[in-house]
Amino acid sequence: MKLTQPIRLTMVGGGSWATALVKILSENNVSVKWWLRKASDAEHIRKFGHNPSYLSDVQINTRKVKVCTKIRESFKDSDYVILAVPAAFISDALRGLKPDHFTGKSVVSAIKGMVPEANQLVTDWVSEHYNVPNERMSVIAGPCHAEEVALEKQSYLTIASQDTDRAEDVANLLRCRFVQATPVDDIYGIEYSAVMKNIIALACGITRGLGYGDNFQAVLVSNAMQEIKRFVDAIYPKHRDLSGSAYLGDLLVTAYSPFSRNRTFGTLIGRGYTIQSAQAEMNMIAEGYYAVKSIYEINQQFGVDMPITEAVYKILYEKAAPTGAMNVLKEVLT
Ligand SMILES: NC(=O)C1=CN([C@@H]2O[C@H](COP(=O)(O)OP(=O)(O)OC[C@H]3O[C@@H](n4cnc5c(N)ncnc54)[C@H](OP(=O)(O)O)[C@@H]3O)[C@@H](O)[C@H]2O)C=CC1
Ligand SMILES: O=C(CO)COP(=O)(O)O
């Protein structure tokens, strides 16, 4: 459905995904206030219509997109807020805002990570800190890399909300020449699954870095799907088909694409980089690094069998040698 009234939207975040989403929204009748934290990046976008730090080939339509570095100002008068910073930085990004600033707004998380200090999904954290009712929250999921959006490659998003009319409204903002968007209601299942596929991508990267091949990765990914299902069903029991693109599709793109931040980070670890040197090597954030700690800790209460998550946790947080941890894992995969 074409948007007849202009929609006013706040985009929070200046990285690759925020830039790609701004590009998608600019295809529609949406006027965007785009919050970034770096004044120099904001100034560059205003002057030249490109983000100098991420996806710098993307042309920003500065008639529709107004850039600002003051978070309160960016929230003024908008109907929708899209959150697109890594989960570890969400509290930094929203500092200075109070629950009143969220009143009446539809809040959309495009984040696929856990808030580390709280071990919470982003939607739970936002609801708790800013009193946003669950039915006003939604998430953007699906196998979709920012780099391919920049190239206008055909892509698919899934929008999940407890309120499916709201999910449809958000989907409608994002449908364009090269993006299809489908509304669904399994917000928690999809949000957890999107977090966990990043941990699996780390494992895929680590094994690649160690020299394992496609035969092993196929087994790793199919075991991973079962691990995700066990965990998500334990936390939010609901009938769900995990072969859908928001679950399996997102796992596959992250596990196999050279664009994947998590897979790249894992590959560096498998090759022997330290965590600090792998982080320094990448200009981008691998959410799985934070997520594996949260999911591992949450699972201490649930006791779900999660050998892949445990192997990645031990490598990243207990200094286990990748070779040894993967030797243990390979014995339990089937
Ligand atoms: N990239 C993708 O293809 C996709 C990403 N996502 C999700 O989107 C989210 C954002 O990822 P992505 O855009 O890739 O990340 P990037 O690594 O591209 O960008 C990181 C962003 O975080 C900002 N940042 C870093 N430190 C802080 C801080 N202390 N306070 C506030 N902001 C900070 C950076 O700002 P600065 O430049 O100023 O350092 C930058 O804007 C993640 O949850 C990711 O999983 C989801 C789907 C696809
Ligand atoms: O979630 C994403 C694509 O759907 C992005 O994460 P990665 O870059 O790690 O693949």
Enter the ipTM: 0.98
CB-ligand 2 contact for 193 (6 Å cutoff)? no
Predicted local distance difference test score (pLDDT) of residue 1? 64
Residues paired with residue 82 on neighbouring β-strands, in sequence order:
11, 108
Pairing between β-strand 137-141 and β-strand 155-160 as defined by DSSP bridges: antiparallel
What residues have CB less than 8 Å from 301, skipping those under 6 apart? none
The DSSP code for 272 is: T
**Token pair recorded at residue 73:** 């100002």
CB-ligand 2 contact for 112 (6 Å cutoff)? yes
184 in Cβ contact with 190 (< 8 Å): yes
Q: What is the largest CA-CA distance in the chain?
A: 59
**Token pair recorded at residue 155:** 């892509």
Atom 7 of ligand 2: nearest residue by CA position: 260
Q: Which of 179, 252, 262 to mutate to test the pocket of ligand 2 (most atoms within 8 A of CB)?
A: 262
CB-ligand 2 contact for 260 (6 Å cutoff)? yes
Predicted local distance difference test score (pLDDT) of residue 26? 96
pTM of the model: 0.97
37 labeled part of a ligand binding site = yes
pLDDT (tens, 9 = 90+) of the chain, 334 residues, equals 667 778 999 999 999 999 999 999 999 989 999 999 999 999 999 999 999 999 999 999 999 999 999 999 999 999 999 999 999 999 999 999 999 999 999 999 999 999 999 999 999 999 999 999 999 999 999 999 999 999 999 999 999 999 999 999 999 999 999 999 999 999 999 999 999 999 999 999 999 999 999 999 999 999 999 999 999 999 999 999 999 999 999 999 999 999 999 999 999 999 999 999 999 999 788 999 999 999 999 999 999 999 999 999 999 999 999 999 999 999 999 9
What number does CATH give the domain 7-185?
3.40.50.720
The count of other CB atoms within 10 Å of the CB of residue 177 is 8
Backbone angles phi, psi at 220, to 5 degrees: -60, -45
Predicted local distance difference test score (pLDDT) of residue 2? 66
Closest by CA to 295, choosing from 217, 224, 210, 204, is: 224
Residue type, 230: R
124 labeled part of a ligand binding site = no
Angle at alpha carbon of residue 59, lines to 54 and 64, rounded to 5°: 110
Residue type, 292: V
- CA 149 to centroid of ligand 2, rounded, Å: 12
Side by side, the strands of the sheet bearing 7-12 are 65-68, 30-35, 7-12, 80-83, 106-109, 137-141, 155-160, 179-184
Secondary structure, 3-state, 23-76: HHHHCCCEEEEEECCCHHHHHHHHHHCCCCCCCCCCCCCCCCEEEECCHHHHHC
Predicted local distance difference test score (pLDDT) of residue 3? 73
Whole-number Cα distances in Å, 147 to 56, 155, 261: 10, 11, 11
CB-ligand 2 contact for 250 (6 Å cutoff)? yes
28 in Cβ contact with 176 (< 8 Å): yes
E strand map for 71-188:
80-83, 106-109, 114-115, 120-121, 137-141, 155-160, 179-184
Pairing between β-strand 106-109 and β-strand 114-115 as defined by DSSP bridges: unpaired
CB-ligand 2 contact for 141 (6 Å cutoff)? no
Q: Where are the domains of the chain?
A: 7-185, 193-332
Predicted local distance difference test score (pLDDT) of residue 191? 98
The count of other CB atoms within 10 Å of the CB of residue 319 is 9
- CA 104 to centroid of ligand 2, rounded, Å: 30
Q: How far apart are CA 231 and CA 112, in angstroms?
A: 16
Predicted local distance difference test score (pLDDT) of residue 6? 84
The DSSP code for 138 is: E
Closest by CA to 37, choosing from 1, 9, 74, is: 74
Any catalytic annotation for residue 197? yes
Catalytic residue selected from 23, 33, 197, 293? 197
What number does CATH give the domain 193-332?
1.10.1040.10
Which ligand has an atom closest to residue 108 CA? 1
Predicted local distance difference test score (pLDDT) of residue 283? 79
